[in-house]
Amino acid sequence: MDLDDLKRRLQDHFSDGLVTIVGSGLSVAEGIPGMGKLAKHLLAEVPGRIPDGSKALWGSISSDLIADVDLESALLKNRPDDHIESSIVDLTAHFILDAETRVVEELTAGSRVLRFTRLLPQMLKPDTGIPIITTNYDRLLEIAIEKAGLSVNTLFVGHHFGRLDAESAHLTMCKSLTKFKGKQFLKLSAHAVVLKPHGSLDWYMHDADPIRCPLPLSLQRLIITPGLNKFRGGYNRPFDSHRERANREIDRATRFLIVGYGFRDEHLQTHLEPELKKGKPALLLTHSLTSRAGELLSECSRMIALCADTTKDGTRVITRDNSEFFPGISLWDLDGFVKGVFEV
């Protein structure tokens, strides 16, 4: 396969039924710290926030982190108590929020364009909205979508004290109402449906109900930390609504675009992996393959990965049966992908 053939194949992937899944790799590329930096931040800050009764448990977690065990594995091995989990949630939220603010300031100064903003003009825009599933807490996807001139449906209604109401949220995308042969039809604005099964920096719990608010409230933010508590929290509102909608989108997709996602989330894997193994086409853009991504590539006949090469500048294209290297082009990075595939 030569480069022109590859580009045509990649362009053809952007057709009907595409569901996009975005992992932390895209946020890291935009300047949001990854799990390694977060682990170091927690090591420095958690001890001063927890009571004496929690320090032995934190000692076990921190010992694993110091030994270079990744954060999720350390928290799976040593399930945090409520004090530790609350501290992790608060510290994580503020750590990511600080980085998110810096990125947004660069956007407003005109010194940065988000990668996803550049991709959106190349995507079909169904009336039901572009389905985008992300495990990230930050709001860079929502910002990227609005910067591209589209609306965003988060399943919440309202801007400053939004309530979770998927049906009403869909109706807020209505642009006009027309009548034809006695029937009424809604014309919806071009929009994306952003589903966040792990929560978002602007989600809070207030009076036993989830709300969405962009302001910094003195309430604990609704984000699910890595580890065993992820599975406990993932079945509470609003996480369950987003997870269930995400799974429905995965089940009815005809193809997938997967960006910076390492296939480590059990909530999504339950639905995503069977669909990939059925033969639904999938395009993975990532700097490095995780072990699970590598396993899926060997099992799925219509999955293709674009990743960086460890020894030279370019893109390695990997499928179940083949691996090819294309020098001097960074198709694995979303920015390089848009430039190399659509803007040439």
Segments making up each domain of the chain, as ranges = 3-31+113-342
Higher pLDDT, 226 or 50: 50
The CA distance from 284 to 278, in Å, is 17
Confidence of residue 236 (pLDDT cuts 50, 70, 90): confident
The CA distance from 79 to 89, in Å, is 14
Confidence of residue 183 (pLDDT cuts 50, 70, 90): confident
CB 157 within 8 A of CB 172: yes
Whether the pLDDT of residue 299 is over 90: the answer is yes
Q: Taking residues 147-165, what's their average pLDDT?
A: 96
Helix (H, G, I), strand (E, B) or coil at 21: strand
Helix (H, G, I), strand (E, B) or coil at 151: strand
Whether the pLDDT of residue 196 is over 50: the answer is yes
Taking CA atoms, 228 is separated from 23, 201, 221, 259, 266, in Å, by 19, 20, 18, 25, 11
- For 331-334, the CB contacts below 8 A with 24+ separation are 331/10, 331/285, 331/306, 332/285, 332/286, 332/287, 332/306, 332/307, 332/308, 333/29, 333/115, 333/285, 333/287, 333/308, 334/26, 334/29, 334/115, 334/116, 334/118, 334/119, 334/259, 334/260, 334/285
Q: Taking residues 93-97, what's their average pLDDT?
A: 95
- The per-residue pLDDT of the chain, averaged, comes to 93
CB 262 within 8 A of CB 23: yes
- What pLDDT score does 1 carry? 77
Confidence of residue 179 (pLDDT cuts 50, 70, 90): confident
Nearest to residue 25, comparing CAs of 159, 160, 146, 134? 134
Taking CA atoms, 302 is separated from 44, 256, 280, in Å, by 44, 11, 6
Confidence of residue 184 (pLDDT cuts 50, 70, 90): confident
Whether the pLDDT of residue 123 is over 70: the answer is yes
CB 65 within 8 A of CB 43: yes
The CA distance from 212 to 152, in Å, is 13
pLDDT in tens, 326-340: 999 999 999 999 999
Q: Taking residues 129-157, what's their average pLDDT?
A: 97
163-195 as b/e, with b when 16 or more CB fall inside 10 Å? Answer: bbebeebbeebeeeeeeeeeeeeeebbbbbbbb
Of the chain, the percentage scoring pLDDT greater than 70 comes to: 97
Whether the pLDDT of residue 226 is over 80: the answer is no
- What pLDDT score does 269 carry? 87
Residue with token string 């609005």? 146
Tokens of 31: 């300047």
Q: Taking residues 89-111, what's their average pLDDT?
A: 95
Higher pLDDT, 187 or 132: 132
Nearest to residue 201, comparing CAs of 220, 176, 177, 226? 220
Tokens of 294: 């590598």
Higher pLDDT, 175 or 154: 154
DSSP H stretches of helix in 120-238: 140-147, 166-171, 229-233
Confidence of residue 235 (pLDDT cuts 50, 70, 90): low
Of the chain, the percentage scoring pLDDT greater than 90 comes to: 83
Taking CA atoms, 182 is separated from 175, 176, 178, 179, 185, in Å, by 19, 16, 10, 6, 10
Q: Angle at which helices 291-299 and 266-277 pack, to 10 degrees?
A: 20
Q: Taking residues 61-66, what's their average pLDDT?
A: 96
Confidence of residue 181 (pLDDT cuts 50, 70, 90): confident
- What pLDDT score does 233 carry? 53
The CA distance from 68 to 281, in Å, is 35
- What pLDDT score does 231 carry? 45
Tokens of 344: 């040439």
Q: Taking residues 292-315, what's their average pLDDT?
A: 94
Q: What angle do CA 255, 257, 261 make, to 5 degrees?
A: 130
Whether the pLDDT of residue 144 is over 80: the answer is yes
Higher pLDDT, 187 or 280: 280
Taking CA atoms, 203 is separated from 34, 163, 164, 325, in Å, by 21, 10, 10, 43
Q: Taking residues 53-64, what's their average pLDDT?
A: 96
What sign does the dihedral 282-285-291-294 (CA atoms) show? positive
Q: Considering the domain 3-31+113-342, what is its CATH architecture?
A: 3-Layer(aba) Sandwich (3.40)
The CA distance from 337 to 343, in Å, is 9
